[in-house]
Amino acid sequence: MRATFFFKLTVICVMTLFFSYNIFAQDLPQLLLPEGVKVRLGESQITGKIAYAPDGKRLAVATILGIWIYDTLTGKALDLLIGHADSVLGVSFSPDGNTLASGGLDRTIRLWDANTGEPLRTLEGHTSWIDSVSFSPDSNMLASGSEDRTIRLWDVDTGEPLRTLEGHTDAVFSVSFSPDGHTLASGSFDRTIRLWDVDTGEPRHTLEEHTGEVRSVSFSPDGRTLASASLDGTIRLWDVDTGEPFRTLEGHTGEVRSVSFSPDSHTLASGSLDRTVRLWNANTGELLHTLEGHMDAVDNVAFSPDGTTLASGSEGITVFLWEVPLFATTNATVSLSPASVQTPAVGQQLTLSLKITEGENIAGYQATLGLDTTALRFVESSNGDYLPAGAFFISPVVQGNTVKIAGTSLAGENRGDGTLATITFEVVDIKASTVKLLDVLLTNKTGVSSVPKIAFARITELATLHEDVNKDGVVNVIDLTLVASNFGKQGVSAADVNADGVVNIIDLTLVAGAFGNTATAPEVWYQLDSVLTRTAVKTWLREASQLNLMDADFQHGLLVLEQLLAALTPKETLLLPNYPNPFNPETWIPYHLANPSEVRITIYDTRGVLVRHLDLGYQREGYYTSQSRAAYWDGRNTVGERVASGVYIYQLQADHLSLLRRMLILK
């Protein structure tokens, strides 16, 4: 009680002094402001975040006293919200503009009426102080990151906790919702960033490239990119869908403490221990501008909703509102099409188009593509139809995992939509990857360049089928034999297609039913005898039929087994050419049997003299073409001597037929 009394007394005294100073300060000309600063705010110790209201007219600043609310046009203090028993660290306005959230050292979160400043409710549950709060895009949910290593999700209307996200091994310093509200990013002092599924609370990706604590995370408004600031002195840009890093921004001479995207996603702002604010081209990573004037480390940066002003707060007592410099912009978008495509099989080719929309006076372009060289190999590229006739396409430059392409017109300019180039890759492995546009530059005929918005292409894996036991992208007889070889096996197994804990005839029939349900062409029926026998398939069909299961997939499997059995039964008995031919010293003699029969192969020389009998015994109908099933001759006669070079005749006697062919021994 005594501590609380003195805290309140201190606050009252400071407020009185502040407002007295503030009224006086408004009348002073701000002659000493750094170049580019429109307004200077605050004479109170800043402890944490700053946040713009959705209308851009107010700015909330977390301080040791509470939350100061400022008029962003005049810099005048409008209110001080007091309620926390200790310093405030995090603040956030709800997107609908109705609620302000704050978190602090007292381990509580406070919700305030953003229009009146009245307290609404207090959220409790964290066991240590709260560094960051962030609203979901629909304003219905609040996320909080704490020194207790957890993230908590709250219902804004009721104040009830929804779930706790655990996994970080150190303090969670920053949380941010994706624009669609389905993903939450968290940055931690454990040097990782985690992407969470908001609906389930399950982690999607753990991003681990930083070598220092992660102080800030921010989604681009288009939802494609996540930026992170680290005490290792770098900013990293990540692909949100894959969790892969695609660019590192370096230039600050001290730890980077905050990042924020402009509303159009084109510009990224960063604040650092080196006392500077830096503006970067978010598409190319180019440093655009450095803002100087802070006397202490810059802890926080935030763009105004209209993107014309940037607020930056230092760890001292100053918040600057900077006029954002105008950079060359364009409404054009350059993207890879299709935006998402399933990878072909290994060895096949994949072609992407470099598309442009809303182009203006385009006479040339250059683009650098980044690819995963363990998944794709660059083959070739060519000019599209967008540039005027007679355009010159510059030979691609391949360096490691990047390819630079460029084209220029010698005749004029174009505008609107079209295809700049086509790029062909060869698939070297079936895996998910991303082809990225690392930088794109457009130019007009006078050489003035501009940087468009860009979009990547996602390469997804082949659709996974449970029936594709060996995961080669096609369901075929190989998968059948793998199931058959695992008959009776219990527990987790790829051959247990229906996941009932045991591999049996049901799994085999389901695999048969999936023939043709693949990402590639259906299997051609050939050389089946190398992996299957007619007897085996006949047995499978009999056992499956006895189950009397009426499931559509199972019934389709029975039909395919019947077709397979028919395919394994030759329509006529044939004697095929031996292989190899000519040979020395051994050869294989393949044949087909249309009916069960005693089989004998006899070898003669050209004079009709017997050389060798091969009695193969009684055999069922089927294909005898593989080395494991065809007749084998070691090139010796009946007494074990190797025969001389020359032409020989071999005769098949089976199924009441006698068939002849020639073979050649060449030594």
Task: List pLDDT tens digits, range 579-612.
Answer: 998 988 999 999 999 999 999 999 999 999 999 9
Domains and their CATH numbers in the chain:
2-323 (2.130.10.10), 333-460 (2.60.40.680), 477-567 (no CATH), 574-665 (2.60.40.4070)
Q: What is the mean pLDDT of residues 225-232?
A: 96
pLDDT exceeds cutoff 50 at 27: no
Q: Say if residue 614 is exposed, middle or buried (CB neighbours under 10 Å; 0-12, 13-18, 19+).
A: middle
Which CA distances in Å does 646 have to 176, 576, 635, 649?
82, 19, 12, 10
Residue burial 532-555, b: 16+ Cβ < 10 Å; e: rest: bebeebbebbeebeeeeeeeebbe
Q: What is residue 315's predicted lDDT score, i.e. its pLDDT?
A: 76
In 345-487, DSSP assigns E strands to: 349-362, 364-370, 376-383, 392-399, 402-408, 414-427, 433-443, 449-450, 453-455, 457-460
Q: Which two tokens stand for residue 276?
A: 């500077």
Q: What is residue 434's predicted lDDT score, i.e. its pLDDT?
A: 86
Q: Which two tokens stand for residue 255?
A: 């730890």
Query: pLDDT by residue (tens digit) across 389-446?
Result: 778 888 999 998 899 999 998 778 999 999 999 999 999 988 888 898 877 889 888 8
Determine the Cα–Cα distance for residues 665 and 641; give it in Å rounded to an integer: 14
Q: Which of 210-214, 326-330, 479-483, 567-571 has the highest mean pLDDT?
A: 210-214
Q: Return the residue matching tokens 């930083």.
A: 210
The pLDDT confidence band at residue 527, using thresholds 50, 70 and 90, is very low
Which CA distances in Å does 276 have to 247, 257, 290?
21, 11, 7
| 321 or 525, greater pLDDT | 321
pLDDT exceeds cutoff 70 at 483: yes
Q: Say if residue 114 is exposed, middle or buried (CB neighbours under 10 Å; 0-12, 13-18, 19+).
A: buried
Average pLDDT, the chain: 86
Task: Output phi, psi for 4, to 5 deg.
Answer: -60, -40
Q: What is residue 329's predicted lDDT score, i.e. its pLDDT?
A: 65
The pLDDT confidence band at residue 525, using thresholds 50, 70 and 90, is very low
pLDDT exceeds cutoff 70 at 70: yes
Q: What is residue 497's predicted lDDT score, i.e. its pLDDT?
A: 84
Q: What is residue 532's predicted lDDT score, i.e. its pLDDT?
A: 64
pLDDT exceeds cutoff 50 at 449: yes
pLDDT exceeds cutoff 80 at 294: yes
Contacting residues for 596 by C-beta, under 8 A, at least 6 apart = 618, 619, 620, 621
The pLDDT confidence band at residue 538, using thresholds 50, 70 and 90, is confident
Determine the Cα–Cα distance for residues 284 and 277; give it in Å rounded to an integer: 18
Q: What is residue 25's predicted lDDT score, i.e. its pLDDT?
A: 38
Q: What is the mean pLDDT of residues 145-168?
A: 96
DSSP for 385-398 reads SSSPTTPEEEEEEE
Q: What is residue 391's predicted lDDT score, i.e. its pLDDT?
A: 86
Contacting residues for 503 by C-beta, under 8 A, at least 6 apart = 483, 486, 487, 488, 489, 490, 493, 495, 496
Contacting residues for 122 by C-beta, under 8 A, at least 6 apart = 83, 108, 109, 110, 111, 159
| 217 or 489, greater pLDDT | 217
Q: What is residue 208's predicted lDDT score, i.e. its pLDDT?
A: 94
The pLDDT confidence band at residue 5, using thresholds 50, 70 and 90, is very low
Structural contact between residues 268 and 280, judged by C-beta atoms closer than 8 angstroms? yes
Closest CA to 193 of 182, 180, 204, 178: 204
